[in-house]
Amino acid sequence: MIIPAIDEEARQRARERQDRLTKPAGSLGRLELLSIDLAGMTGRIDPPLEHRVVFTLAADHGVAAEGVSAYPREVTAQMVLNFLAGGAAVNVLARLFGARVVVADLGVDADLPQHPQLRALKVRRGTDSITRGAAMSVEDAQHAIDHGRALVLDEVERGLDVVLTGDMGIGNTTASAAMICALTGLEPRAVVGRGTGVDDAGLSRKLNAVRAALEVNAERIARGPLDALAAVGGLEIAGLVGVIMEAASQRKPVVIDGFISGAAALAAARIAPGTTGYMVASHRSQELGHAAALQELGLRPLFDLDLRLGEGTGALLALPLLDAAVRTLNEMATFDEARVSDRERDAAHNRPHN
Amino acid sequence: MIIPAIDEEARQRARERQDRLTKPAGSLGRLELLSIDLAGMTGRIDPPLEHRVVFTLAADHGVAAEGVSAYPREVTAQMVLNFLAGGAAVNVLARLFGARVVVADLGVDADLPQHPQLRALKVRRGTDSITRGAAMSVEDAQHAIDHGRALVLDEVERGLDVVLTGDMGIGNTTASAAMICALTGLEPRAVVGRGTGVDDAGLSRKLNAVRAALEVNAERIARGPLDALAAVGGLEIAGLVGVIMEAASQRKPVVIDGFISGAAALAAARIAPGTTGYMVASHRSQELGHAAALQELGLRPLFDLDLRLGEGTGALLALPLLDAAVRTLNEMATFDEARVSDRERDAAHNRPHN
């Protein structure tokens, strides 16, 4: 697939306008940089941000049977029902910030009811345990990626300006940690964290599971990022890889949520270089390896609120910052319009100033 | 003035509800803590946040004549006109986040036009230079504090749920740095920064100005926080002290903007202990001494976006987080409502879980 180049000319226009606005140059900090990034992605200094969709993809993980999560496996399906009923954090924040929630079953190990809000895209009922072999076949991983891409294309039809990633899957911080280790060569110790909150014994089991997964899948991992995704990833992670790739191919900014989305973003960047240019890192999660994944992507998160929930909640919290970045760039008065003395211009004209 | 005690019972109710919501305990991080803080301030776990007002107070500073700012003194008045015309960053963000902007002239050194949006509360035309003596008399400082309190009371009449602080005044990072040094005993070197962007020579002049101000005003500073405010502060800073004190006395959460607001918050906390319990620190600004001021207040900022603009822009950017904190606490389903398995409860019932 072809990832369009970033529009450097639009970035330059945004940068020049930032410097004419009635504020000291650079004083809006990260908002200024964000407005320039969004211009480069979309080719517009005033990109629309109205249609914002969080893609919350769910799947189960074979490794969950090995005591790596604080919650039982059945919670994946229960939380999908909670999403559909509108009672989860992702629903509340989506309502607050005017986003649509697309809930998709990429591989939940349960018979979920038909529901107008649920996209039934089950590739298989959960993965196999990554500690004993591949999580899934490469074909299954590709299938999940294609589903993710199709989800984005469907929303483009309805109007889509900003893509947000989200996830649900008991055990998926273990798979994500394995993915990040597989793609970066980092030690499990530097990446594996407590997820939703395992105790010391659970953390030790997670570490062992990731080590075992990397060992048993070493040959598959060596074949490349798609094989690594199939070997130690997950179905919702693969789906998110597709969401991110398609968003980039459509020149839509894609706001990356937390640890699981970070693992998917890393895989997307390796499978389709160029996707990184369309990513906005929302937050740094509490999960240990998240900062490492973002650093590997060259992304600096916008905020750190000690979040570790997933679902897309962190990505949603970045939306007001996207709005603020675009609105200040386009709605603020320039020094000329407001007749405010601009230091640089005064200096150029040799007018006295302090 | 009496600052009401924080409602510990409401905090406890918020905390207990947080632990019943369908998410791992603590996984919403700072949002959970914020929802508990807001409950304690207001006595409600569902405090209204509809009426939100940013108080952008403006004044001039005698020290501005000493080359401590990158901008000429006339910019204070020009920016007030920009606020009134709706072209400044504070206006754009206030529109975006549904806040009213109250612009008040506490001591601008210019004849500002009458304007329905401008509160004309000029105590005097700017302060005297803090390097040569007191910025103003204690009576003038008290006068400005009283104006700040009155501004809040007027907005209470119109409906007021959340108070935000903002400032405009060429030279006011120098006065704020002097204030923070005076109130904490910190060395100027650890507090004085580049403000809106002075060069090395300007930074050196700022440092010297703050050192001179602390020396020439040493006796006044030793008399207490109100005297220190009069000696090395500013009229808009004193006004903000009044805004913060009255907000706390009305049990309204008060969102503290950047460096200048931080200096005012520190003075308010010293003059009226107990106000700190009503403060929410929005962001850590790029200005060197801001982190120190927040630490002294025991406040942890919500985010760090490299902002250094003032006006109330940082405080406004915190509003979506206040909304998110209150809405998730009140609108999310509980484990019982959503029939999601809760680890803790399962453990208590000795049900098997992973």
Q: What is the mean pLDDT of chain B?
A: 95
Burial of residue B105 (number of CB atoms within 10 Å: 0-12, 13-18, 19+): buried
| A21 → chain B, closest CA residue | B88
What letter would DSSP give residue B162? E
For residues A339 and A240, state if they share a domain: no
Smallest Cβ–Cβ distance between B340 and the set A23, A82, A354 belongs to A82
Closest residue, chain A, to B66 (C-alpha):
A354
Confidence of residue A196 (pLDDT cuts 50, 70, 90): confident
Rounded distance, CA A327 to CA A320, Å? 10
pLDDT (tens digit per residue) in A282-323: 999 988 899 999 999 999 999 999 999 999 999 999 999 999
B125 within a domain of the structure (yes/no)? yes
Report the percent of chain B where pLDDT is more than 90: 92
Provide the domain limits for residue A17.
8-47+327-350
Same-domain check for residues B234 and B249:
yes
Question: What b/e sequence results for B66-90 when a residue is b if at least 16 CB atoms lie within 10 Å of its CB, and e otherwise?
Answer: bbbbbbbbbbbbbbbbbbbebbbbb
Tell me what the mean pLDDT of segment A66-91 comes to. 96
A37 and A123 inside one domain: no
CATH number at B29 reads 1.10.1610.10
Residue A327 confidence class, pLDDT cut points 50, 70, 90: very high
Residues B177-181 have a mean pLDDT of: 98
A31 contacts in B (CB within 8 Å)?
Answer: 305, 307
Provide the CATH number for the domain around residue A102. Answer: 3.40.50.10210
Name the token pair of B104: 């008040």
* Whether residue A153 is found in the same domain as residue A173: yes
Residue A3 is assigned to a structural domain of this protein:
no
Q: Provide mean pLDDT across the span B92-108.
A: 98
* Encoded amino acid at B195, one letter: G
Provide the number of structural domains found in chain B. Answer: 2
Catalytic pick among A66, A296, A311, A331:
A311
Residue B2 lies in a domain: no
Whether residue B354 and residue A305 make contact (CB cut-off 8 A), yes or no, is no
pLDDT digits (tens, 9 = 90+) for B243-267: 999 999 999 999 999 999 999 999 9
- CA of B232 to nearest chain A CA: how many angstroms apart? 20
How much is the pLDDT for B175? Answer: 98
**What Rg value do the Cα atoms of chain B yield, rounded?**
21
Whether residue A320 and residue B97 make contact (CB cut-off 8 A), yes or no, is yes
Q: A340 vs B79: CB contact, 8 Å cut-off?
A: yes
Whether residue A269 has pLDDT greater than 90: yes
B3 falls within a domain = no
Same structural domain, A333 and A275: no
Same domain, yes or no: B92 and B35: no
Kindly list the residues from chain A whose CB atom is less than 8 angstroms away from the CB atom of residue B30: 305-307
In a domain, B93, yes or no: yes
pLDDT at A353: 37
> What is residue B75's three-state secondary structure?
helix
**B250 and B190 both lie in a single domain:** yes
In a domain, A160, yes or no: yes
A252 & A185 share domain: yes
Mutate to test the interface with A, among B19, B20, B23 (most CBs of A within 10 A): B23
Cα–Cα distance for residue pair B137/A178, rounded to 1 Å: 65
Instruction: Find where tokens 């294609």 sit.
Output: A146
pLDDT for B279? 98
Beta pairing class for A162-168 and A254-256: parallel
Q: Which of residues 16-45 of B touch A (CB under 8 A)?
A: 21-31
How sure is the predictor about B115, in pLDDT bands with cuts at 50, 70 and 90? very high
**In B, which residues are within 8 Å of A79 by CB distance?**
22, 340
Taking all residues of chain A, what is their mean pLDDT, rounded to a whole number? Answer: 95
B1 lies in a domain? no
Q: What percent of chain A lies above the pLDDT cut of 70?
A: 97
Q: Confirm if B55 and B152 have CB atoms less than 8 A apart.
A: yes
Check residue A344 and give its pLDDT.
52
What confidence tens digit (pLDDT) does each residue in B295-316 have? 999 999 999 999 999 999 999 9
Is B30–A72 a contact, with Cβ atoms under 8 angstroms apart? no
Is the domain of A59 the same as that of A170?
Answer: yes
Q: Are residues A28 and A104 in the same domain?
A: no
A352: pLDDT strictly greater than 80: no
Which positions of B are annotated as active-site residues? 311
Q: How confident is the model at residue B38 (pLDDT cuts 50, 70, 90)?
A: very high
Torsional class of A255: left (φ above 0), alpha (ψ -120 to 50), beta (otherwise): beta
Question: With an 8 Å Cβ cutoff, is A303 touching chain B?
Answer: yes
* Residues B36 and B164 grouped into a single domain: no
Same domain, B70 and B156: yes
A 218-277 near B (Cβ less than 8 A) = none
pLDDT at A287: 87
Q: Which of A309, A323, A333 sits opposite B96 (nearest CB)?
A: A323
Residue A303 with chain B: CB contacts under 8 Å? 302-305
To the nearest whole Å, the CA of A70 is away from the closest chain B CA by: 6
Q: Specify if B277 maps to a domain.
A: yes
Res. A342: pLDDT tops 90: no
Only one residue has tokens 């989860």, namely A88
pLDDT in tens, B189-234: 999 999 888 999 999 999 999 999 999 999 999 999 999 999 999 9
